[in-house]
Every structure is written in structure tokens, then in C-alpha cells.
Amino acid sequence: MRSPGRHRHLPALARLVIVALLLAALIGGTSAVDGYGRARRQRMKNKVLEMFYHAYDNYMTYAFPHDELKPLTKSFTDSLSELGNLNLEHLPQDYNGSALTLVESLSSLVVLGNLTEFERGVLWLSENLTFDVDARINLFECNIRLLGGLISAHVLAKEYSNQLKDGLYQDQLLHLAESLGNRFLPAFETPTGLPYAWINLKYGVMENETTETSTSGCGSLILEMGVLSRLTGDSRYEAAALRALRKLWSLRSSLNLVGTTLDVLTGKWIEYSSGIGAGVDSFYEYLIKAYILFGSDEYWDMFHSAYLAVQKYFRHGPWSTLLPGTSFHLSCQSLEYHEADMRTGEATHWQLTSLQAFWPGLQTLLGDVTAANLSHREFYNLWQRFGVLPERYLLDYGMLHPTEKYYPLRPEFAESTFYLYQATKDPWYLEVGEAIVGSLNYYSKVDGGFASVRDVSTMELEDHQHSFFLSETCKYLFLLYDDSFLRNQNYIFTTEGHPLPIRSTWHEKFPATHVPSNWTFVKDESQPIRVSALSSQVCPETIFRQIVGSPWESACHVPDSYASHRCRIDDDCGIEAVTCKKRTCSMAGYCGLWLVIY
């Protein structure tokens, strides 16, 4: 056993083991002892199934093979060229869609257990889909939706090949993914290595193309392109994405903060204000997930520095809320997150956005469950107030943003609810899931599918069913009530909800025996279930001061169960205050950050 501070290479391996144990505690089989009840869980599972198929069947009836469904008029939109294109510029004339929603739905069909429809979709795409089209697309959106969807579906088709009826799958989706990846590469041919935000699938980078891109647009490509390289043996995809990520990180400020937009030719920042929301969110998400997927210490070093900077400069307080159904106020240091200038750390915009709702899920993945509980509560308060989650809420004015009152069926709040339930087994999160399902059915369900909400103050609807409603929102809600897909499996989800396998052979830095064989298997049901701070109706900071005696503790700190640091199981151990890493129980019965030797 070694302490993590002794040598540089030991912490990396120890962190891999720790993250593995965290994932093992997070994702796994549902338990009947959480107080929710099997019948109630089955009823909610069926409701989510009905939602998915109502959306999917209407897409297949009225929109397929075009990109997305318009549920109010029961028609379609070829929206791939419109994603991220706020001004709707340079729209193609002869583009007839890429079956975007079908590609996005494939992994969900497997999660729901419908291999028949999955195989039907795979065969259609294998015979009909082509990317040799004159269409200008957003690299980031096309990467997470189409490339991610194809790669994930390819892996699932290989893993479930013995259960497919015809058994005709011969890597067709991988070939399509490779074709798409090849069309991405010209975007990276810049002096900085940062990719253009826009590229024409047939002709490459267009003349006089804009050089502005977002942090997410050049820092959230490594999962899909890295896996494509490992599946094809062609290193160019991962090399391009990694070069862009390294360049982006080199442009951070002395505070370890990044901005929102920058120029791909000069590397100069255009927008210095930043946060954890739009334009930046998946940058943080992909750093920690790339570390889990590929095991490189470089990703952890970037993420750890970036995470601590977020906690230092974007958090603010104080905060108080009334717990539902009680007269008890829970008052703690706030875990709302504002935006700040990357150069000074000074606050710029005091707002809560729907895209920020992914953050509690990321914190849960990291093991920072107490902080995740509190920030999740902020979003739940807004959901209860409006019935759905508005795109932007101004904290300093206590009001909706005047032009961003919409809710396009986003999945981030459901995603974080799923992760927090897996971490705590607290049935309160299943009830939150009920609220989400109830709102979606009440406000957004129409005869032709599920419509986005144009204005949360009036609940006026918009004629658009985004593909991520099927790839993420429905998937995470289903997994909340039935996670059998994840049992004995090793997956990490992309920012678009597509599962990618975690394989020891992809951890090139370490021998295969050093990588745990099962990253997503649940802890034994006989192990104690920790109740969240919210359910206990106490502030974590209050507990910390009583036990540790310190006037302040970091948001991620969870003390060991016993002051002696003795333990019987991993659940007796807490989370380190400085490193935010989960402590585990050694064979000798003490909590610590232990290096596991196989």
C-alpha cells in the first residue's frame, strides 16, 4: 500500500481504482429495500416506455428518414445543418436528412431491450445512410449525435450479435462512423490545431468560414474520436481531438479558468466570461470521462485543476430552501454556480441555466455527493416552480430571462437525478423522476409526439421534438427505474447519452490486470444505504463542524464514519477534502487512498 503523495505514477493507478469503486457504487441493479416498492417502480418504468415509443413511433411515421420530428404538425425538419446555427445561415438546398433521430435512438432501443427494432434500424442505416452530402454542419453537434450514436450502436451490435435474428451485421455502422470521422479531419487543419466549428460534409471547410468556436466545440471531441481510433486502428482521429484539447488547456488563465468562445486561427479568446453552462459544459464532463475511459493521467490533471477552479470561482451563497411537505428550512452554503471572468474570477452573470443541470451528475460521478445533492436541489426548486426547467433564470433578479424562457425537452436534470439515485439509493430521487415524467406528459405530450415548450410562463408549445429526447431524456428516466442494462457491464455515457464500453485494452498506460474488470456493477444489496443530506434534513457543513471541528470544509468532503478511521467496508469511508477522491477500506481495516495491487 502506498500513500498517493509519494510518486507520480502511483496516484494515477490509485485513481483508476478509486474511480472504479465509485462507479461500482453508482451504477447497478435496483434494490427493493429503498422503500419505493417494486409495483410503483414497474408502473413508472411502463410510463417511460410509453413516452419513448410515443415519440419514436411518431418520428418513424411522420419524419423518418429525415432528421427530427415536428410533433404539432406531424411533419419533419432536416435539422442537422441547423444545430448550433442560430442565424440559420448557409442552409443546404438539396439535403434530405440523415435519419438523425433513428441514429440517436439505437442505443436507447438496446437499453429498453428492443433488439428487434434495433436490428431493423441498423440494417436500414447500413443500406441507406451516406455522408456524401452538400451540407454544412456543426462539428460538435455532429460528433456527439451522429458519430457518437454510430459508434455506440456498433459496439452494441457486436456485443448483442448472437441475439440478433438475421446475424447480418458486419461492421457497417463502424464503416459509416469512419467515413464521418474522415470528413471531420479537415476542420482541424488550422495553425492552432483547434477545429473550425463548421464544416461541409462533402467539400470540407468552406471559403470565408467563421473562425469562432466554443470551448465545448474544440474540447469535447475526445471520447467519440478516441474510441473511433481504437475501433479502427487509425490514430488520426484521436490525435486531432487530443491536440485540440491540449491547445485549449494551454490557453487557460492563471486561475485555471477557460472562456466560452475563441478564434481557431489565433487561439485568442473572444468571450472571457465563462461558467459550467452553454459553450463550456461538456468540456468539464469529457475530461473526467476521458480519464475513466482511457486512463491517461493527463486527463485527470486537467480535470482536477479545472474542477477546483470551478468550485473556487463559480460557487456562491448563502442559500436557503423549504423542504417539500415540511416547515423545515435547509440553510447551507449555496451550491448555485454563476459565471465569472476567466482572467480575474470576478462574477459576470448571476444565472441558473438548464444546461448546468448536468453538474450534479458529474459531481456524483466524482464522488462529491453532498455537493451534488445541494446543487440538484436548486434545479428541482425551479422545476417545481415552472413545471419544467427554463433555459435561463436570472438569480440576481429572481426572474426568467426575457428571451430564453423555453424548455426543449433537455435531459440534464433527469441525468443528474439518475446518477444521484444510483449513488444514494435514496427513493426521493425516484419521486423526482415521477415529477419529471408527470410534467413531460402533462405539458409536452401531443398527439404527434412530444413538443418543446416555447415559453415556460405560458406553456406555449413549439413544433420540435429534439433527437436527444430519445437518446437521453427517455433513456435516463428509464434507467432510473430499470437499470438492468448496466448489470455486469462496463459503460460510460457520452454527453449525448450514448454508452461506450470501458475496456482494459484501451488503458494502454497500465497492464490489463490493473484495470478493474467491472466498472459499473452495483454494490451488494446487503451493504448499508447512505441517506442523502437532504433526506436527513441537515446541512453537511454542520455535520463537518461537529465531527471535524473545522470552521470550513470543502463541498466534497465526507468524513469517515469513525474518528479512528477504522472500517469494515468501503461505505465506512468518506471523501478526501483536498483531492475530492473517495477513500476505501484496506485489507487491514483502515480508510485511505489505497493502491490496489492485483
Element at 453 (helix H, strand E):
strand 452-455
Pick from 269, 206, 208, 218: nearest CA to 243: 218
User: CB 249: neighbour CB atoms within 10 A?
Assistant: 18
Grid coordinates belonging to 547: 465531527
Which listed residue (141, 472, 483, 560) is catalytic?
A: 141
Annotated binding-site ranges for Ca(2+): 495
Indicate if 281 belongs to the active site: yes
The sign one gets for the Cα dihedral 33, 34, 39, 41 is: negative
How far is 229 from 263, CA to CA, in rounded Å? 27
3-class SS at 381?
A: helix
- DSSP letters spanning 72-118: TTTEEE-GGGTTT-TT--S--SS-----HHHHHHHHHHHHTT-HHHH
Query: Residue 362 and residue 286: Cα distance in Å, rounded?
Result: 10
Which residue is catalytic, options 178, 224, 412, 482? Answer: 412
* Whether residue 412 lies in the annotated active site: yes
Residue 391 annotated among the catalytic residues of the structure:
yes
Rounded Cα–Cα distance for residues 542 and 56 (Å): 47
Question: Pairing between strand 273-274 and 445-446?
Answer: unpaired
Cα-based distances in Å from 356 to 260, 285, 416: 14, 11, 10
Verify whether residue 378 is a known catalytic residue. Answer: no
Q: Name which of 13, 11, 24, 146 is nearest 569 in CA terms.
A: 24
Residue of 34, 78, 238, 281 with catalytic role: 281
Least Cα distance to 336 among 364, 374, 298 occurs for 374
Grid coordinates representing 358 are 448536468
* Cα dist from 556 to 135, 229, 253, 412, 568, whole Å: 45, 35, 24, 21, 22
**Residue ranges at the known binding site:** 495
Q: Minimal CA–CA distance to 52: which of 493, 475, 479?
A: 475
Number of residues written out for the chain? 598
CA distance 438 to 594: 44
By the 8 A CB rule, do 224 and 265 touch? no
Residue 311: which of 358, 266, 359 has the closest Cα? 359
- CB 158: neighbour CB atoms within 10 A? 14
Pick from 182, 116, 169, 121: which is nearest to 149 by CA?
Answer: 121
The residues carrying an active-site annotation are: 141, 281, 391, 412
